[in-house]
C-alpha cells in the first residue's frame, strides 16, 4: 500500500518527485565514494555530508507521505 502511495506521489507531487530525484543522485554519488578502496579526507567529509543530506531528504519525503 505504501508503495502505491509513493508511486502516486511521484506522479502527482512535484516536491516529492524532485526530492526523489535528489535522493537518487546523492545515493549514486555516495555509492561511488563507498566503492573506492581509499578515500581522501575531503571524500570522507563529502561522504558524511551526503549521508546527512540523504537522511534530511528522506525525512521530508516521509513527511509528505504521511500527509
Domain boundaries, the chain: 2-66
Question: Whole-angstrom Cα distance, residue 26 to residue 52?
Answer: 10
Q: How confident is the model at residue 2 (pLDDT cuts 50, 70, 90)?
A: confident
* 38: three-class secondary structure by DSSP: coil
Helices (H), the chain: 2-12, 14-35, 41-66
User: Looking at residues 30-58, what average pLDDT do you find?
Assistant: 97
pLDDT band at 49 (very low <50, low <70, confident <90, very high): very high
Amino acid at each position: 500500500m505504501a508503495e502505491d502511495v509513493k508511486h502516486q506521489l511521484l506522479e502527482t507531487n512535484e516536491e516529492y518527485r524532485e526530492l526523489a530525484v535528489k535522493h537518487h543522485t546523492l545515493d549514486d554519488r555516495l555509492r561511488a565514494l563507498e566503492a573506492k578502496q581509499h578515500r581522501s579526507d575531503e571524500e570522507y567529509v563529502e561522504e558524511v555530508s551526503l549521508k546527512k543530506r540523504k537522511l534530511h531528504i528522506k525525512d521530508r519525503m516521509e513527511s509528505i507521505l504521511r500527509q
